[in-house]
């Protein structure tokens, strides 16, 4: 009798175990599908981004009631609107507005096609005119009659032109401001600012009417900043759209008309050679994973070839990400900490060290870094970090001056956004935002043949310094 | 022995069933509770390939990242939320589906009730401040003895020297029964200060003008469709009856609309009961058909025309469309604005609200009142039967009446009708109308 109960118990236990294993098997499968699912999403929509992250779902919002409000408005509109609603466009529109409200040119929403462009650019495939563009804020004054009012401008500026790009062929230069595209004014300021000022001055009605007429005319043939950037950074697929764009460019107080084509430019990650059998010349055209891999290989080859010093040419390097830059730095820097980052913690600002991902394996050669106004952001950080952690000097012109540390986020529908999360600064606390990094040796003359002795004054100054270092040791 | 064997067989048979059972129960649990990823849901999602973003999830996570990590000082979280909602609704490309933050919602409530709290004076820009055009009847401004031409040079001691008119108006308005101190310059007198208690002020809604004394042609200028508009219209119509009016111009120019109920009431004064005023068509088809109300007909059997222009919108267009379609009055003027959409205002939390376009309006004859954007241009709205354009810089003021060609045309049309009907012949009157409709 007792044995019967025992047997019954054992079989019940066995059955329970089987049930549990069914349960667990499903869970295991489900979790694995999630992991592979994430990969699928990335492959479908854009080339993999080295440094893209997913916005945290575990972070709290300080005012949950605001999320509730947003959710309620969305649901009401979805259910009540006269037509079916475009959910994706609504999400994009709201994130675009939110990020625009931060009033920071480096924090912006990327629609799926923009995120793809962004990813392609990071992989060395630059679309459109082949220039890196940014929006710079400038505070100026508006003169109305004999009074002035503050006026804020958002100017579209060329940071750098990619080698062999249509922009380079058209003669666009780092620092150029793009004022109009095909005769359409790129809206850089509030055209009604004058009218507001006239109203504050209680000016005659007729004068206000004329001013608003002018503003209206100006707006009639205009193009928004984001639309301008979009036009300049896409390669039309349709051949008949491929006629060149007429740009009105402001350069050092002069206005120029430039015709530039739109075609995809492929940028080689790295070029290098041994100069005079002794000087390793390395020119990363961007700071991405491929460039950092090739940098390591090139460095090995150059050292084996007998390099006694290095020239790292960062002129016009405007595309890059922090992680690959740190990888490269780990082959030059002699310290693990290479820079600092200032960040916001609540209402206060704090500074944290920026460290290499692994202990450095420095080449232990003197390094000359070449910079110019097109040396931008991560490239600026790299130049500064080399100067402060190795036997190094900077030659050329001051850098652009954008010290924003930005995160790149991807959302699962293929869109994404960038967000400025910090400001880079030197080990000694030196800030270069909006100031740029001053070279140790200023060389204003532009190269006739970049990277060629006899045609590149900054390079020649760099080499003579390297020679002096060789003699000293 | 045989019995025991059979028990094992049962157990063995049960095992795969239970395995599958465990699998299924776990999946069901996952789907129902969202506790773990679901194979079923995920494979369905993978089938659709492109994942859609849940707007609220995307908003929440982006907002959290901004709050936690953005380098600059982020804007206040409520402002950031309002901006995000604006951006979300902007994707609909419908200017009328919009979010109202607490300020905007309060202003909207003021506008549709036809009253706001202030001092009740029409102001215009003037050197050094704001000039009083006229105090409104029974307003705090009138009671305080303010006169047309007075210039307000300071509000609560703050000079208006460098303040634009709309900002000055904001400074003067405020909560009911609070006091505002105005510094007034009157002619060459020394400036003086008056303290006025703010109160509810009826914004003007209906004005009556006798435009042609000989023919007794009256113009009723209906400035909006506030709650009070029907009652004020009744007062105007009584006045016209008493004075023996023979023709009416209903002036809906620059009337941005208002409440649908007021539009129905107004239409019912001119069309007897149970006639369609407007059809409301929603996502699912015909939602509603509004008809004129019984017992509201004003019984004025006089010729009538309606004036419209690009500023006539929404409720104005409903009234104009109904009066035209029922052959009560021809439309004279310019294309109307073309806002034939029904907004429903739904209050949400924190004193905010959202206005949603839930349906569109069709006139009794089925004309879609809403303008479409075609090649960047607005096309649509009501077409007038007689198109007359006023000069671009014409203003709807007494002073500029001489240049009001639309009004002149209206008078001309009505005089013709009056002359025709004076001969006591209904046929002639119909002919006049045919001419008008040409």
* CATH number of the domain encompassing residue B190: 2.30.42.10
Catalytic residues of B: 314, 325, 339
Do B147 and B22 lie in a common domain? no
Do A441 and A342 lie in a common domain? yes
Provide ipTM, 2 decimals. 0.84
Q: Which residues contact A187 (CB under 8 A, 6 or more apart)?
A: A219, A222, A223, A224, A225
Q: Per the CB < 8 Å rule, is B22 touching A420?
A: no
Question: Is this structure's pTM higher than 0.80?
Answer: no
More confident residue, B306 or B371: B306
Q: How confident is the model at residue B434 (pLDDT cuts 50, 70, 90)?
A: very low
Query: Does A190 map to a domain?
Result: yes
Domain boundary among A265, A286, A306: A265
The stretch B292-310 carries a mean pLDDT of: 93
The stretch A224-234 carries a mean pLDDT of: 90
User: A407: which chain B residues are within 8 Å (Cβ-Cβ)?
Assistant: 65, 69
Do B289 and B345 lie in a common domain? yes
State the nearest Cα–Cα gap between A182 and chain B, in angstroms.
Answer: 19
Residue with tokens 């707007």: B55
Burial of A337 (0-12, 13-18, 19+ CB in 10 A): middle
- Winning range, highest mean pLDDT, from A325-329, B16-20, B395-399: A325-329
Query: Does A366 map to a domain?
Result: yes
pLDDT tens, B269-294? Answer: 999 989 999 998 888 788 889 999 99
Question: By mean pLDDT, which of A73-82, B202-211, B353-362 is the weakest?
Answer: B202-211
User: A344: which chain B residues are within 8 Å (Cβ-Cβ)?
Assistant: 69-73
Q: Per the CB < 8 Å rule, is B65 touching A59?
A: yes
- To the nearest whole number, what is the mean pLDDT of chain A? 89
Q: Is B50 on the interface with A (CB under 8 A)?
A: yes
pLDDT tens, B129-139? Answer: 888 887 877 78
Which residues constitute the domain of residue A384?
268-472
Residue B318 structure tokens = 């409903």
CA nearest to B46 within chain A: A37
CB contact residues (below 8 A), chain A span 186-205, against chain B: 196, 199-202, 205
Total count of domains within chain B: 4
Best mutation target among A26, A44, A53, A350 (most B Cβ atoms within 10 Å) is: A26
Q: Give yes or no for a contact between B130 and B165, defined as CB atoms under 8 angstroms apart.
A: yes
The count of CB pairs under 8 A between chains A and B is: 291
The stretch A133-145 carries a mean pLDDT of: 88
Residue A186 structure tokens = 């790129």
Helices (H), A284-346: 289-304, 322-329
Q: Per the CB < 8 Å rule, is B358 touching A27?
A: no
Identify which of A235, A106, A123 has the alpha carbon closest to the alpha carbon of residue A159: A106
Phi, psi of B7 (to 5 degrees): -60, -45
Q: Give yes or no for a contact between B331 and B382, defined as CB atoms under 8 angstroms apart.
A: yes
Q: How far is CA A54 from CA A98, A110, A410, in A?
A: 17, 14, 5
Q: Per the CB < 8 Å rule, is B42 touching A7?
A: no
Do A261 and A272 lie in a common domain? no
More confident residue, A358 or B42: A358
CB contact residues (below 8 A), chain B span 307-336, against chain A: none
* CATH number of the domain encompassing residue A256: 2.30.42.10
CA nearest to A346 within chain B: B68
More confident residue, A454 or B49: A454
Residue B224 pLDDT greater than 70, yes or no: yes
CA nearest to A56 within chain B: B61
Which residues constitute the domain of residue B187?
115-201
Domain boundary among A237, A265, A293: A265
pLDDT at B49: 43
Do A232 and A200 lie in a common domain? yes
Do B41 and B78 lie in a common domain? no
Query: Does A161 map to a domain?
Result: yes
A464 CB neighbour count, 10 Å cutoff = 12
Q: Which helix H or strand E contains B152, and what residues bound it?
A: strand B151-155
Q: Is B4 on the interface with A (CB under 8 A)?
A: yes
Q: Radius of gyration over alpha carbons of chain B, in Å? A: 31
Q: Per the CB < 8 Å rule, is A14 touching B15?
A: yes
Do B420 and B293 lie in a common domain? yes
- To the nearest whole number, what is the mean pLDDT of chain B? 84
CA nearest to B101 within chain A: A69
Do B282 and B404 lie in a common domain? yes
Q: How confident is the model at residue A383 (pLDDT cuts 50, 70, 90)?
A: very high
CA nearest to B128 within chain A: A202
Q: How confident is the model at residue A450 (pLDDT cuts 50, 70, 90)?
A: very high
Do A331 and A414 lie in a common domain? yes
Q: Is A22 on the interface with B (CB under 8 A)?
A: yes
Best mutation target among A5, A12, A19, A347 (most B Cβ atoms within 10 Å) is: A19
pLDDT at B35: 46
SS3 A432: coil
Strand partners, B288: B280
Domain boundary among A232, A265, A298: A265
Q: Per the CB < 8 Å rule, is A30 touching B68?
A: no
User: B126: which chain A residues are within 8 Å (Cβ-Cβ)?
Assistant: 202
**C-alpha to C-alpha distance for B36 and A26, rounded to whole angstroms:** 10
Query: Does A66 map to a domain?
Result: no
Do A353 and A376 lie in a common domain? yes
**C-alpha to C-alpha distance for A267 and A318, rounded to whole angstroms:** 12
Do A261 and A321 lie in a common domain? no
Residue B227 structure tokens = 């709650």
Q: Per the CB < 8 Å rule, is A201 touching B348?
A: no
Helices (H), B126-283: 140-143, 165-172, 229-242, 260-270
pLDDT at B396: 80
User: A196: which chain B residues are within 8 Å (Cβ-Cβ)?
Assistant: 164
DSSP A239: G
Q: Is A23 on the interface with B (CB under 8 A)?
A: yes
CA nearest to B349 within chain A: A69
**Relative orientation angle of helices A87-100 and A64-80, to the nearest 10 degrees:** 140
Q: Per the CB < 8 Å rule, is B77 touching A25?
A: no
Do B389 and B285 lie in a common domain? yes
Q: Per the CB < 8 Å rule, is A82 touching B84?
A: no
Q: Give yes or no for a contact between A375 and A159, defined as CB atoms under 8 angstroms apart.
A: no
Nearest to A77 among B62, B69, B356 (CB): B356
């Amino acid at each position: 009798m007792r044995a019967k109960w025992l047997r019954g118990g054992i079989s019940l236990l066995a059955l329970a175990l089987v049930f549990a294993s069914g349960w667990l098997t499903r869970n295991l499968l489900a979790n694995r599908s999630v992991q592979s699912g994430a990969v699928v999403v990335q492959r479908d929509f854009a080339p993999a981004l080295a440094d893209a992250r997913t916005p945290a779902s575990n972070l709290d919002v300080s005012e949950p009631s605001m999320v509730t409000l947003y959710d309620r408005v969305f649901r009401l509109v979805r259910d009540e609107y006269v037509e079916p609603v475009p959910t994706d466009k609504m999400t994009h529109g709201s994130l675009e507005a939110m990020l625009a409200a931060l009033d920071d040119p480096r924090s912006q929403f990327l629609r799926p096609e923009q995120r793809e462009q962004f990813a392609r650019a990071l992989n060395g495939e630059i679309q459109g005119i082949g220039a890196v563009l940014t929006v710079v804020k400038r505070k100026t004054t508006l003169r109305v009659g004999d009074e002035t009012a503050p006026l804020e401008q958002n100017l579209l500026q060329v940071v750098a032109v990619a080698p062999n790009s249509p922009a380079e062929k058209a003669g666009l230069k780092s620092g150029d401001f793009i004022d109009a595209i095909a005769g359409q004014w790129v809206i850089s300021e509030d055209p009604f600012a004058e009218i507001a000022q006239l109203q504050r001055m209680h000016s005659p009605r007729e004068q206000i009417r004329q001013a608003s007429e002018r503003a209206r005319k100006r707006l009639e043939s205009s193009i928004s900043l984001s639309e301008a950037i979009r036009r300049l950074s896409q390669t039309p697929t349709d051949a008949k759209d491929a006629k060149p764009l007429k740009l009105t460019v402001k350069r050092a107080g002069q206005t120029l008309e430039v015709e530039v084509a739109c075609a995809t430019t492929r940028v080689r990650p790295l070029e290098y050679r041994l100069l005079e059998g002794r000087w390793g010349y390395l020119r990363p055209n961007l700071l991405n994973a491929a460039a950092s891999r090739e940098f390591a290989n090139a460095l090995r080859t150059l050292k084996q070839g007998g390099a006694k010093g290095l020239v790292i040419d960062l002129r016009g390097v405007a595309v890059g990400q922090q992680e690959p830059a740190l990888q490269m730095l780990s082959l030059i820097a002699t310290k693990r900490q290479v820079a600092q980052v200032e960040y916001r913690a609540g209402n206060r600002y704090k500074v944290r060290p920026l460290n290499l991902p692994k202990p450095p394996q420095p080449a232990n050669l003197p390094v000359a870094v070449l910079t110019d106004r097109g040396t931008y952001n991560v490239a600026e950080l790299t130049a500064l970090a080399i100067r402060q952690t190795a036997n190094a000097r900077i030659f050329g012109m001051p850098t652009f001056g954008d010290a924003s540390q930005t995160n790149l986020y991807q959302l699962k529908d293929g869109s994404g956004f960038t967000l400025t999360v910090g400001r880079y600064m030197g080990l000694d606390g030196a800030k270069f935002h909006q100031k740029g990094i001053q070279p140790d040796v200023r060389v204003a003359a532009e190269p006739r043949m970049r990277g060629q002795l006899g045609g590149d004054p900054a390079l020649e100054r760099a080499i003579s310094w390297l020679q002096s270092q060789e003699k000293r040791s | 022995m045989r019995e025991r064997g059979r028990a094992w067989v049962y157990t063995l048979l049960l095992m795969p069933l239970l395995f599958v059972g465990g699998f299924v129960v776990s999946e069901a649990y996952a789907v129902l509770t969202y506790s773990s990823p679901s194979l079923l849901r995920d494979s369905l999602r993978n089938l659709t390939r492109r994942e859609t973003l849940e707007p609220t999830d995307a908003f929440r996570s982006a907002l959290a990242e901004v709050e936690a990590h953005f380098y600059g000082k982020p804007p206040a979280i409520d402002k950031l939320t309002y901006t995000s909602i604006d951006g979300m609704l902007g994707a609909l490309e419908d200017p009328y589906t919009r979010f109202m933050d607490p300020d905007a919602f309060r202003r909207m409530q003021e506008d549709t009730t036809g009253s706001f709290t202030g001092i009740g004076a029409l102001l215009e820009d003037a050197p050094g401040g704001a000039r009083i055009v006229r105090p409104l009847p029974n307003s705090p401004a009138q009671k305080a003895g303010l006169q047309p031409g007075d210039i307000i040079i300071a509000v609560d001691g703050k000079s208006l020297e460098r303040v634009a008119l709309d900002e000055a108006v904001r400074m003067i308005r405020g909560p009911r029964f609070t006091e505002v101190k105005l510094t007034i310059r009157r002619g060459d007198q020394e400036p003086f200060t008056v303290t006025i208690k703010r109160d509810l002020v009826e914004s003007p809604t209906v004005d009556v003008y006798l435009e042609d004394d000989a023919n007794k042609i009256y113009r009723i200028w209906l400035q909006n469709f506030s709650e009070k508009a029907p009652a004020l219209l009744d007062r105007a119509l009584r006045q016209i009856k008493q004075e023996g009016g023979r023709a009416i111009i209903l002036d809906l120019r620059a009337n941005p609309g208002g409440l649908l109920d007021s539009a129905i009431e107004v239409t019912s004064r001119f069309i007897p009961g149970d006639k369609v005023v407007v059809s409301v068509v929603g996502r699912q088809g015909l939602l509603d058909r509004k008809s004129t109300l019984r017992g509201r007909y004003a019984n004025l059997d006089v010729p009538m025309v309606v004036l419209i222009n690009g500023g006539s919108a929404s409720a104005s267009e409903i009234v104009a469309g109904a009066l035209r379609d029922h052959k009560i009055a021809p439309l004279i003027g310019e294309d109307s604005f073309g806002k034939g959409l029904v907004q429903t205002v739904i209050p949400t939390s924190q004193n905010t609200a959202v206005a949603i376009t839930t349906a569109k309006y069709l006139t009794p004859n089925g004309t879609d009142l809403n303008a479409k954007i075609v090649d960047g241009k607005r096309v649509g709205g009501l077409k007038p039967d007689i198109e007359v354009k006023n000069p671009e810089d014409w203003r709807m003021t007494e002073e500029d009446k001489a240049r009001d060609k639309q009004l002149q045309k209206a008078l001309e049309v009505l005089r013709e009708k009056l002359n025709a009907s004076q001969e006591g012949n209904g046929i002639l009157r119909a002919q006049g109308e045919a001419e008008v409709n040409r």
